[in-house]
Chain A
Amino acid sequence: MKILVAVKRVADPDNLNKIKLSAQGKIDATGLEPKASPYDDYALETALRLTENGANTKARLGEVVVVTFGPKESEQMLRAMLGTGADRAIRVDATDDALDGDLVARGLKTVVEKEKPDLVLLGYQQAENESNEVAQLLAEYLGWPQATFAGSIRSEDDKALVVGREVEGATAQVRVTLPAVVSVLDKIVHPKSVQSKHTAPTHTYADGVRFAALMAIMAAKKKPLAEMKLADVAADATLKVKYGAAELPPKRAAGVKVKDVKELVTKLKTEAKVI
């Protein structure tokens, strides 16, 4: 199976409470370490699990191509992903200001038509903008089925996937015939969440994503990383959505510490009046 994984570099998702506003009222994440959006790391882990035997992960049994839309600096993230196990990488040169979800989806469509993957995997949303839209837009533009909020994936002979979609207290199971677009939640990297035809059902993965071995990081420097221009993948770069000024949400002030349970109940009753 050939899988295209769309990824995005973002500001450190664990420190987003440190973002500021610039003098122009725009969001300023200066000082936060750039990282891959965590759900994209989960998408890559999913792709690797689908293209290997979990008992012998050194032998690749399919192809995983990572693609990003970003500036030159994003290549560091792509190299890291090549070290983790991706086979090839593509960077479409663009800055965030020149993109919206719709343009990314239209650009990805061109990349898909060129690469002809069986499956496109994405994180269900990227950690900065949190739009949760590119997978659905891309599926529509390609005329492919979509399965969003994937918490589990079982491959049926790489012809179809049974996807467990986590939808508010319930799991909707759907079977999508490939090629398809799937976006994943964090649950997808649990030990048994991905069942591939190459791996025995009894196999248990370590919880979470894998890390690159030093040798693999060295070897990744030789893996192919192609660069494309935005104009190569999207003839029309018009944005459908434009962001203006931002606000910081009002800070919740720390309240009071109560000394015991009795005082807590009294405060809830007489001060907050919520019980």
Chain B
Amino acid sequence: MAGTLVVAELSEGKVKKPTHHAIGFAKQVGTPFAILVLGAGAASAAKELTGFGAQKVIAVDDAGLAHYTAERFAPTVAKVAKDGGWDTVAMASSAFGKDLAPRVAAKLGAGYAPDVDRVKAEGGKRTYRRPQYAGNALGWLEITTPVHVVSVRQTEFAAAMPEPLAGGAAGGASPVENAPKAADDAAAARVEFLKLEVGKSERPDLGEARVVVSGGRSLKEQFKQVLEPLADTLGAAVGASRAACDAGYAAPELQVGQTGRTVAPQLYVAVGISGAIQHIAGMKGSKYIVAINKDPDAPIFQIADYGLVADLFVAVPELVKELKAQG
């Protein structure tokens, strides 16, 4: 039927947060939608998604889907989309969605709108907007095929909230339906998942944090020593510029910017970051930007709400002290 099939993303049998933003997209489009949950443990994870107003939640629980590879997941997504006659397949533009969505689009002969930040329907025609040119242009596109595949930028679509049941009953109203896994692509036999190495962090995830404290190359070996007390005080996630990651001062997974993470926290504190356009592309959606840099001409000051021209090795410890003093 006409409507959107939202593809959920799982991690260790639990629904990952980007999924809620993809559901937010489907609700904004406004046509009926279903949620497809696939992976090992999908049947149990499906129960997490029954309260969002979906027509149904489709669970494909199969040990063959224990580890994500596009060659194993795409056939099932395409088959469920085709069997259900859904006109739109949507997922978050996380690493998962960006890897999977084009492969699904190719199977469906569908046009693909990657990493969209707006959707609009006018006169029965739907168009999508997406950031391009490192965020310096926003292009509107139209898909010419009957089926659309879309990945949505999670910082631009609000996470869907569960809809309470009448009378305050527990659980959700969407029925869960089980579906079988489709046959793997022949290529699946030529991909072997070996392991997932997860960077350990007690801090909030960069993509979800309310506050992000980010450092540049000038912090050198003192990256952690200077930034962590500030991040602790603000309950912030820690980010870094590409230069700081490349130089080995910060872990690669902390990189914010075009090749790293895109973040849009309430507050972004850029410490010793000059503001290369590839970095700005990943953080300019932040509500408030603070820049601390000793170079008064650093480009970061052109987009910062509050700029402090100062030696960061003096200013950051002072800032920690002041934040604690003002409680």
> Tally of A-B residue pairs with Cβ under 8 A?
270
A167 to chain B, nearest CB (A): 4
- Among A174, A246, A274, contact of B137 (Cβ-Cβ < 8 Å): A246
In the assembled complex, which residues on chain A have CB atoms less than 8 Å from the CB atom of B140? 243-247
A273 to chain B, nearest CB (A): 9
In the assembled complex, which residues on chain A have CB atoms less than 8 Å from the CB atom of B310? 260-261
A241-B142 contact, Cβ under 8 Å, with A13-B134, A133-B102: yes
Q: Are A265 and B323 in contact (CB under 8 A)?
A: yes
Q: Are B132 and A129 in contact (CB under 8 A)?
A: yes
- From B133, B246, B326, residue with most partner A Cβ within 10 Å: B133
Q: Are B145 and A240 in contact (CB under 8 A)?
A: yes
The answer to the question of A115 belonging to the interface, with a C-beta cut-off of 8 Å to chain B, is: no
In the assembled complex, which residues on chain A have CB atoms less than 8 Å from the CB atom of B29? none
- Cα-based distance from A176 to B69 in the complex (angstroms): 11
Interface stretch (choices B37-45, B167-175, B191-199, B216-224): B191-199
Q: Are A127 and B318 in contact (CB under 8 A)?
A: no
Number of chain B residues whose Cβ lies closer than 8 Å to a Cβ of chain A? 95
B142 to chain A, nearest CB (A): 5
In the assembled complex, which residues on chain A have CB atoms less than 8 Å from the CB atom of B141? 241-244
B130 to chain A, nearest CB (A): 8
The answer to the question of A114 belonging to the interface, with a C-beta cut-off of 8 Å to chain B, is: no
Closest A residue by C-beta to B98: A132
In the assembled complex, which residues on chain A have CB atoms less than 8 Å from the CB atom of B98? 132, 148
Residues 139-181 of A, flagged 1 when their CB comes within 8 A of B and 0 if not, give 1110111111101000000000010011111111111110010
Q: Are B266 and A136 in contact (CB under 8 A)?
A: no
Closest B residue by C-beta to A131: B114
- Cα-based distance from A7 to B143 in the complex (angstroms): 25
Docked complex: B134-173 residues within 8 A CB-CB of A? 134-145
Interface stretch (choices B20-28, B55-63, B81-89, B301-309): B301-309
- From A145, A177, A269, residue with most partner B Cβ within 10 Å: A145
The answer to the question of B94 belonging to the interface, with a C-beta cut-off of 8 Å to chain A, is: yes
Interface stretch (choices A47-55, A183-191, A220-228): A183-191
B314 to chain A, nearest CB (A): 9
The answer to the question of B253 belonging to the interface, with a C-beta cut-off of 8 Å to chain A, is: yes
- Among B129, B185, B261, B323, contact of A143 (Cβ-Cβ < 8 Å): B185
The answer to the question of B181 belonging to the interface, with a C-beta cut-off of 8 Å to chain A, is: no
Q: Are B252 and A151 in contact (CB under 8 A)?
A: yes
Docked complex: B103-141 residues within 8 A CB-CB of A? 103, 105-107, 110-115, 127, 129, 131-141
The size bracket of the interface on A is 35 or more
The answer to the question of B13 belonging to the interface, with a C-beta cut-off of 8 Å to chain A, is: no
A122 to chain B, nearest CB (A): 12
- Cα-based distance from A145 to B144 in the complex (angstroms): 27
Q: Are A180 and B288 in contact (CB under 8 A)?
A: no
Q: Are B111 and A102 in contact (CB under 8 A)?
A: yes
A249-B308 contact, Cβ under 8 Å, with A242-B144, A264-B290: no
A266 to chain B, nearest CB (A): 8
A137 to chain B, nearest CB (A): 5
Interface stretch (choices A57-65, A77-85, A90-98, A251-259): A251-259
In the assembled complex, which residues on chain B have CB atoms less than 8 Å from the CB atom of A148? 98-99
The answer to the question of B259 belonging to the interface, with a C-beta cut-off of 8 Å to chain A, is: yes
A249-B106 contact, Cβ under 8 Å, with A140-B74, A145-B190, A274-B287: no
In the assembled complex, which residues on chain A have CB atoms less than 8 Å from the CB atom of B187? 139, 143-146
- Among B74, B302, B326, contact of A269 (Cβ-Cβ < 8 Å): B326
- Cα-based distance from A17 to B288 in the complex (angstroms): 20
Q: Are A171 and B197 in contact (CB under 8 A)?
A: yes
Q: Are B266 and A27 in contact (CB under 8 A)?
A: no
- Cα-based distance from A241 to B139 in the complex (angstroms): 12
Q: Are B103 and A246 in contact (CB under 8 A)?
A: no
The answer to the question of A128 belonging to the interface, with a C-beta cut-off of 8 Å to chain B, is: yes
Q: Are A275 and B234 in contact (CB under 8 A)?
A: yes
Q: Are A256 and B306 in contact (CB under 8 A)?
A: yes
A140-B211 contact, Cβ under 8 Å, with A128-B132, A264-B308: no
Q: Which 7 A-B pairs have the closest CB atoms?
A: A240-B111, A136-B102, A255-B305, A167-B95, A140-B106, A177-B190, A173-B194
